Amino acid sequence: MADPNKHATPTAQNDGDDDEWDKRIKRTGCFEQNERLLICHADTGDWRQCAKEMLAFKKCMQRFQHQN
């Protein structure tokens, strides 16, 4: 079973220690877009309802990839 706290924002439980995924996303500058996407999916349970958030994250990642 997947760890429910894997992509959690800092709380008292994880003391704000970033996992490797968070560190990688933060380096891209797309952390906020990723968080919005994850929250949308957590709220809706359906990626299809998160098209706007997915597109924003995709565009951010494309900008990052073209810069490097």
pLDDT, tens only, 2-26: 444 445 444 434 556 789 999 999 9
What pLDDT sits at residue 15?
Answer: 53
Does the pTM surpass 0.75? The reply is no
Residue 10 burial by Cβ neighbours in a 10 Å radius (0-12, 13-18, 19+): exposed
CA distances from 29 to 13, 22, 33, 37, 48 (A): 25, 11, 9, 14, 24
Q: Where are the domains of the chain?
A: 20-67
